[in-house]
Structure formats: structure tokens, C-alpha cells
Structure 1
């Protein structure tokens, strides 16, 4: 399970809306829970990243140097990286084949914001190392 602070949900939704027609991406921080042990992660902070993909309209890529810098900043505040987020401006809130091929952070949450329907949808998936498994998203106070 991913516990998501309402302020984080609103920030990533605003980022996604502001980035249309391109995908946006970023890092989530808080407390990382081990999915294998049934522990929930809690995200109470988000950090926006630049989408460095060659085709940002249909994929995302975090620049490794920027990603490392964002992660260091978040961890300097005492947080842990709990996962990442990106948007699907026209697509479903599920990982694409490209998302699965590019995933590398085993046990971490990958949040997808879909703007393809009338109401935006925010869903989360944990990468097992082989596939994505959907995890519930619950709102929590930050």
C-alpha cells in the first residue's frame, strides 16, 4: 500500500496538468515500507523532475544526475525515497510496456497520473523486479 499525503497528490496532479501534452515525472519521499513484508510506504513529499526523454509525449525519463540530486535533497531532510511518479496525459493509469521495460527500482512505488478521462486518476504500482503489481493508494495526513 502507498499512503499519499493530499498535498503530494495535489502537487503531482498540478504537475501533470501543467505538462500536457507531455508526460511529467518526479520523485516521491517519506517512509519506505517493504512490500514483501506487507509494509506500506508513506509519501509526504514530492520533487518535480525534468522529463529528459527524447519523446516526452509518450514516455518519461529522469536524467540520472538530476535524479541523484533530487534524491540527495530529499534524504538530507531525513526522508527516504519511496518511489517515482509520472503522467499519462492521454493514456490509462497503468504501466505501459515501456514503463515495465525501463523500471529498475525493485520494491518501490511507481505512481501514474492519468488525465485521459473526465476525472484524473492516480494509481500506484510496485515493481517486483519482474512485473508491476498494483497497490492501493490511501490518503493520509502529511
Structure 2
């Protein structure tokens, strides 16, 4: 069964790099640092393998876990679809630990075609990592992937991050 058009597959081409615009990365990092010491999360959007926009999600009331309620999550997806973007991934922070998927991250992942970004804020210099879910015969695991920060997005893509879910 084919995924709907709004659900991206940034790793569809084997060994393909994923791209993140510098403008979006800068905004995500600023919002993540503002949320510190709590976990920050956002849905990442764009086209193909290029992330050009994001939808910030409510700040977690927990310092070690992020979670979304169904209504907020559906509003965020609706925002992505309304702007003719594809949902390409999820980003969240690890405010106190390195950017390595935790057991809870692994158990809670339900979107195998999407990218999974973690920004570690435990050290003075934020550490970015992106992962791809790789399914094996019995289960799956996150595999680190390379990414590239890029200056520009396609002319028809929005690079804003505003969305109703941020303040929900």
C-alpha cells in the first residue's frame, strides 16, 4: 500500500542524504534552547529529502520525555498538508543526555519512512543527529545517517515554523 502524498519518505533513495535548511535549523535550535531544561519537539516538513519547514509542538512538561495529544498532533499534520508540504520527520531534544535514541524513543517510533532527529543539549555545543529506522526480520533499530545543512530551499517552499500547535 502506497503512502499518502503528504507522508514523505526522505530515505526512499538508498544512501540518499537528507537536507535541512540553515534557516530552519537556526530557528529549531533557538526554540529548543528556549525550552531547556524541558524536551522540545517539532514535526519536520518539506519535499523529497529537503526539510524546509517545521511545526513546533507543545513543550513537554517532562525533562526526559516528549509526547503529544491526538488533537495537537492532527492539527500539526493538517498544517503540513494545508501548506502542500510532506511530513519528513520528527525532531526532539535530549536536554541532559547525548543525541542517541533511548529505549523509549525506539519503543515509541511508529513512522518507519520518516527521519528521526535528536538534538543533544547536554554539552556546551549542541549536537545534532539524524536517524533512519531500519527494519530487520524481528524488529528494527535506528541507524545514524548523514545530513547536509543547506542555504536555500526551492522557491515554492515556505521556510516558516509558525503553527497553531506551538501554543496549544
What TM-score comes out, normalization by structure 2 length? 0.74
- Whether contact under 8 Å (2:90, 2:116) holds in the other structure is yes
Identify which range, 63-72 or 83-92, moves more after superposition. 63-72
Q: Distance in 2 between matches of 1:22 and 1:127?
A: 25
What TM-score comes out, normalization by structure 1 length? 0.87
Out of 119, 123, 127, the position equivalent to 2:125 is: 119
Q: Distance in 2 between matches of 1:2 and 1:111?
A: 11
Q: Secondary structure, in 3 states, of the residue corresponding to 1:116?
A: coil
Out of 137, 142, 151, the position equivalent to 1:132 is: 142
Q: Distance in 2 between matches of 1:74 and 1:121?
A: 26
The structure whose Rg is larger is: 2
Asked if 1:23 is matched to 2:39, the reply is yes
Unaligned runs of 5+ in 2: 1-16, 154-168
Aligned to 1:43: 51
Alpha-carbon displacement from aligned partner over 1:44-65 (angstroms, at most 9, x marks no partner): 001100145xx62001112222
Aligned to 1:108: 114
Count of aligned positions: 132
Unaligned runs of 5+ in 1: 33-40
Q: Secondary structure, in 3 states, of the residue corresponding to 1:128?
A: strand
Q: CA deviation at 1:124?
A: 0.6
Alpha-carbon displacement from aligned partner over 1:43-101 (angstroms, at most 9, x marks no partner): 0001100145xx62001112222111111111211110001110011110111111001
Q: Distance in 1 between matches of 2:67 and 2:27?
A: 19
Q: Distance in 1 between matches of 2:73 and 2:50?
A: 19
- Whether contact under 8 Å (1:88, 1:113) holds in the other structure is yes
